[in-house]
Amino acid sequence: MIDEIIKIVNEVTESLFIQIEEKLEQKIKELGENYSIELPDTAYGLPLIYILEAEKLTNLLELKAFLRKIKEENVEELSKFETASIKYLYLEEINLSLEILRVRNNSDKLFYGFLGDTIQRTLGVQLVDGRIPAVCLLLGCIERDKLLAIVKELKEKRILSFLVGPIAEDFIRSGEAIGFDAYVVPVGINPEEAVYVIDWAVRASLIFGGQTPGDKKAIIDYVRKRINAFCLVFGEIGKKEVAIASGAFLFAIPILTDQKLPEIKQEAIASYPLLVSESDYTRIVKKAIELRGLKIIVEKPPIPVSYGPAFEGERVRKEDTFIEFGGQRTISFEWVRMEEADRVEDGKIEVIGKDWRVRYEQGGQMPLGIIVNVAGKKMQKDFEPVIERQIHTFINEAEGLWHIGQRDINWIRISKKAKDAGISLEHIGIILATMIKAKFRLIVDKVEVLLYVDENEVRDLREQAREAYKLRDQRLEKLSDEEVDEFYSCLLCQSFAPRHVCVITPQRPGLCGAFTWLDAKASYEIEPTGGNQPVSKGEVIDTVCGRWSGVDEYVKKHSGGGIESINLYSLMENPMTSCGCFECIVAVVPEANGVMIVNRGYSGMTPIGMKFSTLAGMIGGGVQCPGFMGVGINYITSPKFIKAEGGIVRIVWMPKELKERLKNALNKRAQEEGISELYEKIADETICEDVEGLIEFLTRVDHPALQMEPIIK
């Protein structure tokens, strides 16, 4: 069977060569040899080719030379099957890149097409912490009702779905939610666009894994072992689909099909079959999960709508809203309180208010005060805000429910569709009680939820909640790295980045932005053998750079000896490593004697001549890069931010969107440092995108970094 596949793949490849050569000559005549062919939002040019060959093709002339090179070349260290598959993937990536040249300015298309680096980094935390336990490629054609049922099952199991071919178009027409937030991504209408998904999976080897471009065997092995993916193919399988399948097989991505085909198993590639037939659509997802050996535990509260992370990105528009609470429409708040065990009635859900059922049934708007009382032997006062922050997620994961904001600026909507399905006000309490007990089971023994809906009572209780918020904030503001005996690690990303060790302190949150010191502490209490572990500080080696003997020992051990030492407060000397899902990158600008900060999602140029995607490609994968460092947004306004280099006074440039987001916190920190005018002296892209313009601006505004000692010594 493998020999037959190789024959078909070679046939498709030969035909592709002819098409591409003709298309390439035409493009060169139209656009010139130096026209850029790099795919959008990636640091890797044509990623598959760059990652596996270590050749970054940037223009049509380089592409032409590469085609000549591979036309007759075989890959000596790989098998005939692997060589044939790789050649096909290279050619299809080239073919697709030439197609993008034709539709590059089509920004309003419904299909996602090429999947950029930014979204991969954005999803990084969800991929490593299990919220997205796997990805699934759906290809071909199937009846809409069967398609919707399969996609819904995948969503409920938190599996991210990529749709290619007629099913992608049909799903869009169904009117169901699409996008990464909805866990359903229509990639393209043409079957060869499945290569974008393979490309996306392979890129993880560089973005998170720190693999070396060109080391084919190591990269292929990385993807086979660390990327949980499978493919469902429906309908007739032609030669093009066989070629795509060979590319999936190369990376041990199994294919399940509704067609009757012989099973394929290659022990050299994977311990499980690579091709399996399953005509029962109600079993195909379950069979794929079993095939990959995935253990997916779905925690679902007893409510009449679907539930899971796939619904978290769902929006409930005004015209679709049955009832809403808060959002400056009505007064509202949410408050988690630790209580003594004898004061909490476990499982109690109570809506408190006069004629609340009648008022709820009328829809519209209502006040809402949510009080969640929790008790537990291992519960701590510091864990209240950790649990409280999860209210947002727990409510949002219910289909047809929408939540934004926290504390006393929350806003909740229930859709008409959810109401018709049977959702009542009590179900908000059921969701919170069920999920808090499930997620925080080792620190919470009892949970009761009280929902207040009378305006005067909500107003009075809100004032009590505000006093509690104030006391918390004062406690957290005083919490410093010096006051605690231990920090916490985050090793979740080691599933992708084996050498990376994230060290989280009270004044340095996780670089992904998802974990604070309190979050990590609570996580350890919940799961003592999990990804967050205590790190004994040990002896102080350098208070300015932020170096401790215990931290060094921990990092060396858990990076497999790859990292000897880290300084938590330094950019220039042994900075902390990055996995790939950092929110921002701090980079030294030598000419300005300062640093710039660029956030994920900013696609423009920076004063050091590199975009975010290029910088990110340099520093991910668990490597130390003095002068460059991935950080969480909240670390920027910490007193410990690059303390060794002088702190926030070194900031000379950041994108306007990030600068405005941090305005209040930056101004507060600047006041504390006695540099109250710093905010106005930080440049952004509206002022300059090059170093010459930056220096001119900094000189004109007399930025204090220019008078500091050299940042590079």
Provide the 3-class DSSP secondary structure of residue 622.
coil
The answer for 140, left when phi > 0, alpha when psi is -120 to 50, beta otherwise, is left
Strands 594-599 and 321-326: unpaired
**Measured in Å, how far apart are the chain's first and last C-alpha atoms?**
63
What pLDDT, in 10s, does the model give residues 345-386?
999 999 999 999 999 999 999 999 999 999 999 898 988 988
Q: Nearest Cα to 642, choosing from 620, 657, 654, 627?
A: 627
Asked whether the beta carbons of 641 and 647 are under 8 A apart, the reply is yes
Coil, strand or helix at 349: strand
The model's pLDDT over 233-268, given as tens digits with 9 standing for 90+, comes to 999 899 999 999 999 999 999 999 999 998 898 888
The confidence band for 482, taking pLDDT boundaries of 50, 70 and 90, is very high
**pLDDT at residue 129, as a whole number:** 66
The pTM assigned to this predicted structure is 0.70
**Among the residues of 208-236, which ranges form H helices?**
216-226
Mean pLDDT value of segment 205-209: 84
Contact predicate 578/566, CB 8 Å: no
Looking at residue 107, its pLDDT comes to: 42
Contact 121, 581 (CB under 8 A): yes
Asked if 47 and 202 touch (Cβ cutoff 8 Å), the reply is yes
Give DSSP secondary structure letters for 374-406: EE-TT--GGGHHHHHHHHHHHHHTBTTEEEE--
DSSP classification of residue 500: -
Q: Which domains does the chain have, with CATH numbers?
A: 2-103 (1.10.8.190), 117-292 (3.40.50.2030), 309-471 (3.30.1650.10), 482-707 (3.40.1470.10)
Q: What is the pLDDT of residue 104?
A: 43
pLDDT in tens, 86-118: 999 999 999 999 887 654 444 446 789 999 888
Element housing 46 (H / E): none
Whole-angstrom distance, CA of residue 137 vs CA of residue 259: 17
On whether the CB atoms of residues 429 and 401 are closer than 8 A, the answer is no
User: What pLDDT score does 118 carry?
Assistant: 85
Query: CB-hemisphere CA count at 13 Å for 700?
Result: 10
Maximum Cα interatomic distance, the chain, rounded to a whole number of Å: 81
Sheet holding 584-589, edge to edge: 628-631, 584-589, 594-599, 651-653
Task: State pLDDT tens for residues 148-166.
Answer: 999 999 988 889 999 999 9
- Please give the pLDDT value at position 106: 41
Residue 641: name the closest of 603, 698, 584, 581 by CA. 584
Triad 503, 708, 667: Cα angle to 5°: 65
The whole-number pLDDT of residue 75 equals 58
- Rounded Cα gap, residues 389 and 387, in angstroms: 5
Query: How many angstroms separate the CA atoms of 128 and 492, rounded?
Result: 6
Say how far apart CA 709 and CA 702 lie, in whole Å.
Answer: 15
pLDDT at 44 over 60: yes
Determine the Cα–Cα distance for residues 318 and 166; give it in Å rounded to an integer: 32
Please determine, for residue 493, whether its predicted confidence score (pLDDT) is greater than 80. Answer: no
Sign of CA dihedral 175, 166, 89, 287: positive
pLDDT at position 692 is 96
* C-alpha–C-alpha distance, residues 96 and 92, integer Å: 6
Question: pLDDT per residue over 49-78, tens digit each?
Answer: 999 999 999 899 999 999 988 877 765 667
